[in-house]
Amino acid sequence: MILHTPTVLILFASFVTAVLGIYGGIFAFRSARLSGGDLTSDKITDLESKTRFLLIVVSVVIVVRILAMPIFYWALESAVPDIPGAMCAFGVTRVIPGLTRTLQYLQFPVLFLGVGWLLLNAVDGKTRHQPFLPRKLYAFSAISIPIVLESLGDLYLFSSIKPPPGSGLSCCSTVADVASRPTALVAGIFLGPGGAGVAFNTYVLATLLFLAFLTFVVWKGLWRLSYLVIGCIMAVILLPIFWIA
C-alpha cells in the first residue's frame, strides 16, 4: 500500500460511504416498504419523523461520494513517484487496469444519479408532506448499490496499489492521446479526422455548462420540477459525449 494524504482521504471517504451506504440502502428500502399503500397526511408525517435521520445519512453518503471523485484522481497522481515508469495518474491506473477502469466507468453514473437524488430531495423538501418520500427511499436503495460497489472498489484499489515487480511500467499516456481506442474510432467515424479532439473539447464544455447549471439552480434556490427535468436531460446528453471523448 502506498500512503499519501489523498490516499488516506480516499480510503476514509470510501470506508464511510461503504458503511453508511449499506446502512442507508437497507433501511431506505425497509422504510419505503413500510410506507406502502395509500399515504394519508398522518402516515406521511409519521414516515417523515422516522426517516429524517435516514435522509441526512443518505445525503451525507451522496455528497461524500461526489467529493471523493476528484480525490480519487488526486490519490492516483500522488502515487506517480512511487510507481517506476509512471509519468502521470494514468500510468498509475495501469498497475490494476481492469479495476481502475471499472471504477472510472462507475464514477459518472454515480455522480449523475447522486446529484439527481439531491435535487429530487431538495424539491420534495419544499413541498408539503413530501409526496415523493417513498420514491426517494426506493431510489436511494437502488443508487446505494453502485455507491457501495464503487466505495469497496476504491478501498481495494488504493490498499492494493504498489510498485509493480520488475522494471516497472513500459509507458504512460493519457486516455485522450490513445487514438486507436474504440470510442475514439466512433468519434472519427461521425466527426471525421480529428473527431476525438472535437469530442473531448465538447465534453469539457458540456461538463462546465452542466456544473454551471447546477450551481445556478442551487444558488438561486430554483427547486422546481422543470429544472430537475432539464438537469436530467443534460446528464443524459453528457453521458454519450463522455464515452466517445
**Chain mean position to CA 220:** 24
Same domain, 103 and 197: no
- Domain range for 140 is 1-167
pLDDT of residue 166: 62
Using pLDDT thresholds of 50, 70 and 90, give the confidence band for residue 239: low
Domain total of the chain: 2
In whole angstroms, give the CA distance from residue 45 to residue 212.
35
Same domain, 160 and 121: yes
Same domain, 78 and 193: no
**pLDDT above 80 (res 155):** yes
Question: Please, are residues 231 and 116 in contact by the beta-carbon 8 Å criterion?
Answer: yes
**In the numeric block, which cell numbers belong to residue 21?**
451506504
Q: What is the mean pLDDT of the chain?
A: 77
**In the numeric block, which cell numbers belong to residue 200?**
473531448
Question: Please, are residues 47 and 31 in contact by the beta-carbon 8 Å criterion?
Answer: yes
Q: Please compute the mean of the pLDDT values over residues 174-184 and round it to a whole number.
A: 50
SS3 content of the chain, % helix, strand, coil (to 5): 80, 0, 20
How do residues 92-135 score in pLDDT, each as one tens digit? 888 888 888 889 888 888 888 888 888 888 887 777 767 777 78
> Where is pLDDT greater, at 126 or 67?
67
Q: Which of 107, 137, 167 is the last residue of a domain?
A: 167
Same domain, 91 and 190: no
Q: Which of 167, 185, 211 is the last residue of a domain?
A: 167
In whole angstroms, give the CA distance from residue 189 to residue 211.
29
Q: Please compute the mean of the pLDDT values over residues 50-58 and round it to a whole number.
A: 78
Same domain, 7 and 22: yes
pLDDT of residue 174: 45
Same domain, 179 and 230: yes
| Phi/psi-derived region of residue 174, left when phi > 0, alpha when psi is between -120 and 50, beta in every other case | beta
How do residues 35-46 score in pLDDT, each as one tens digit? 665 555 666 666
pLDDT of residue 7: 92
How do residues 206-221 score in pLDDT, each as one tens digit? 777 877 787 777 677 6
Same domain, 154 and 224: no
